[in-house]
Amino acid sequence: MNLSPLQKARYEYTPKLPGMLRNGIQDICVKEGAETESVADQEKIKALFPNTYGKKEITFEKGENTAAPKKQVVGVILSGGQAPGGHNVVCGIYDALKAASAENVLYGFKNGPSGLLDDDYLIFDDQYINEYRNTGGFDIIGSGRTKLETEAQFEVAAEVCKKHGITAIVIIGGDDSNTNAAVLAEYFAAHETGVQVIGCPKTIDGDLKNEDIECSFGFDTATKTYSELIGNIERDSNSAKKYWHFIKVMGRSASHVALECALETQPNICLIGEEVAEKKMSIAEITNYIADAVEKRGNQGLNFGVAIIPEGIVEFVPEFSALIKEINELLAGSKTEEFNALPDWAAKYEFIKKGLTAESFAVFDILPAGIQQQLFLERDPHGNVQVSLIESEKLFSELVKNELAKRKAAGTYKGKFGQQHHFFGYEGRCAFPSNFDADYCYSLGYNAFMLIQYGYTGYLSKVSNLVKPAEEWVAGGMPITKMMNIERRNGEDKPVIRKALVELDGKPFKYFEAHRDEWAVGTCFTYPGAIQYYGPAEVCDITTRTLALEKG
């Protein structure tokens, strides 16, 4: 294998562990805390999870290991989209498992949860796992989006576990994946299979967090990667002085990534979807908000700038959400075929005009033609508009361009407006993990094995106090049911982990809100640069601005 110098060096990096996990497996004891309850809908969640609900939060401390000796055969699954550090979770599980006993075995189920159902696996050994230490990606075993949610699937999973003598499954994933982990743990407990289930919190979107889970892994590396690129564009913008750059970043259901990148780079504009929803901002209001900054800068001779747009911004705009619902109804069932059979866009436009309410058509009609057509392209498996495919960065730059043309004609805008567009998503999902994510993920994996050894199930591996040096991190676990509520999904009430949105009264947003007017008109760009792996801790081991502001 041909390796870059950085690859070679990262293989040799030794992740830092919380102090209590450095003591050695035999010197780690468990301390139980208070019993827990779900974040909402307590009676309904309790009824759905009678065997795993209400369990105690736990922390690990230095002391005698009192876990009963037992050969552990553990299966691990990577679920959902990639996030930097996933390989280190697997490495942490493996190292803790082997430190407990050389006879312990780690199975890796390939390509996500489907690997468990298909009995498609590999068995890890030192040589294989050492090739993936501290690296990005999920290629160690692959990932997938198969959901574990039906009785038939659980029966198959139980049979596969029984066949191999598996004692525990670790599911590494986001909110949906860990919801599946909780349901699987309940099934295994109810049927007395003897198989434990542990989850690990993963998502670069940052929306799997609460008072216990300070951040999901991958968020640190992804936002640092995007912030480096945004900083590079800001430097180019300030050098060329002739373009406004509209940059879309990942984060469909929440704007944590956009907010963190704004805190890192201080752009002229950053839209926060949760604020748009709270204020019920219209597309026209958002357009004018951006155009005001462009006009003020342009009238000072500053014909350049940077605007950050969250991937899911349009779903936060009430009038746009209403439009999407009407389009989904318009093309329900056989009407999709009728629409697709129309000869050209003019005919399709008339079909749309007749099918929408006047209010929704007014919204549709102000959209650029390219965006209008995107709304009627590919549908998701349920026949709905794939909002994530909408190029919202181009939508708002075109609307701003049209608004500025009106202001130019009225004589209020004196500048020039040129646009460039970017979407940063896949660039950050498999980056070499930052030292923070390498350490955090390794700790989550090591900690997951400790939860297994002490017999816990339906728990999420938890490492907290993350703004402190790793030595001071606190390891433990929390019942996944604590994070759950009931939501309406596809016409049914379902237990799910509540997504964490940007808190508009939280310290990160308040800091951004206090400075954004200055950033909008001035040129206050900051340039984070590339992720640093070697050097002073204050450069190499820093966490996100979001976490630093939240934990102070």
For a pLDDT cut of 90, what percent of the chain falls above it? 86
Domain range summary for the chain, segments of one domain joined by +: 66-218+433-467, 220-311+391-427+506-551, 318-386
For residue 350, pLDDT over 70 is answered with yes
Least confident of 153-167, 181-195, 212-226, 322-336: 322-336
Q: Which CATH superfamily is domain 318-386 in?
A: Phosphofructokinase; domain 3 (1.10.10.480)
Phi, psi of 361 (to 5 degrees): -65, -35
- 161 near 109, Cβ under 8 Å? no
HSE of 176 in the Cβ direction (CA atoms, 13 Å)?
13
Q: Is the fold of 66-218+433-467 the same as that of 220-311+391-427+506-551?
A: yes
User: Binning pLDDT at 50, 70 and 90, where does residue 337 land?
Assistant: confident
Rounded to 10°, the helix 435-453/219-240 angle is 170
pLDDT in tens, 285-305: 999 999 999 999 999 999 999
Q: For position 1, what pLDDT does the model report? A: 64
Q: For position 492, what pLDDT does the model report? A: 82
Amino acid at 196: Q
Mean pLDDT, all residues of the chain: 94
Q: For position 380, what pLDDT does the model report? A: 64
Across the range 389-396, mean pLDDT stands at: 90
- How far, in Å, CA of 182 to CA of 51, rounded? 11
Q: For position 387, what pLDDT does the model report? A: 72
Phi, psi of 83 (to 5 degrees): -150, 135
pLDDT in tens, 98-124: 999 999 999 999 999 999 999 999 999
Least confident of 6-15, 160-169, 190-199: 6-15
Across the range 216-224, mean pLDDT stands at: 97
For residue 324, pLDDT over 70 is answered with yes
Across the range 67-95, mean pLDDT stands at: 97
Across the range 183-189, mean pLDDT stands at: 97
Joined tokens for residue 231 = 């900083």
The CATH code of domain 220-311+391-427+506-551 reads 3.40.50.460
- Chain length of the chain: 552
Across the range 515-524, mean pLDDT stands at: 98
Q: For position 370, what pLDDT does the model report? A: 86
For residue 383, pLDDT over 70 is answered with no
pLDDT in tens, 476-515: 999 999 999 999 876 788 999 999 999 999 999 999 999 9
Four-point Cα dihedral 360, 366, 367, 368, nearest 10: 150
CA distance to 37, 215, 392, 451, 453, per residue, from 196 (Å):
20, 24, 43, 9, 10
For residue 385, pLDDT over 80 is answered with no
Question: What is the SS3 assignment for 10?
Answer: helix
Q: For position 329, what pLDDT does the model report? A: 87
Q: For position 381, what pLDDT does the model report? A: 61
Q: For position 12, what pLDDT does the model report? A: 92
Across the range 28-41, mean pLDDT stands at: 96
Across the range 378-384, mean pLDDT stands at: 63
Catalytic residues: 205
- How far, in Å, CA of 431 to CA of 429, rounded? 6
Q: For position 378, what pLDDT does the model report? A: 66
User: Binning pLDDT at 50, 70 and 90, where does residue 443 land?
Assistant: very high
pLDDT in tens, 14-28: 999 998 888 889 999
For residue 412, pLDDT over 90 is answered with yes
Joined tokens for residue 422 = 């970017």
- 378: phi > 0 → left, psi -120 to 50 → alpha, else beta; which? beta
Least confident of 326-330, 392-396, 461-465, 487-491: 487-491
- Tell me which H or E stretch contains 74: strand 73-78
CA distance to 191, 204, 312, 395, 404, per residue, from 276 (Å):
46, 22, 11, 16, 22
Across the range 448-465, mean pLDDT stands at: 98
Pick the CATH number of 66-218+433-467 from 3.90.76.10, 3.40.50.450, 3.40.50.2000, 3.40.1080.10: 3.40.50.450
HSE of 246 in the Cβ direction (CA atoms, 13 Å)?
24
- How far, in Å, CA of 66 to CA of 257, rounded? 42
Longest distance between any two alpha carbons in the chain, whole Å: 81
- How far, in Å, CA of 93 to CA of 87, rounded? 10
* Spatial CB neighbours of 244, under 8 Å, sequence gap ≥ 6: 237, 294, 303, 304, 305, 306, 307, 397, 400, 417, 418, 419, 420
> What is the per-residue burial (b if ≥16 Cβ within 10 Å, else e) of 88-97?
bbbbbbbbbb
pLDDT in tens, 353-362: 999 999 999 9
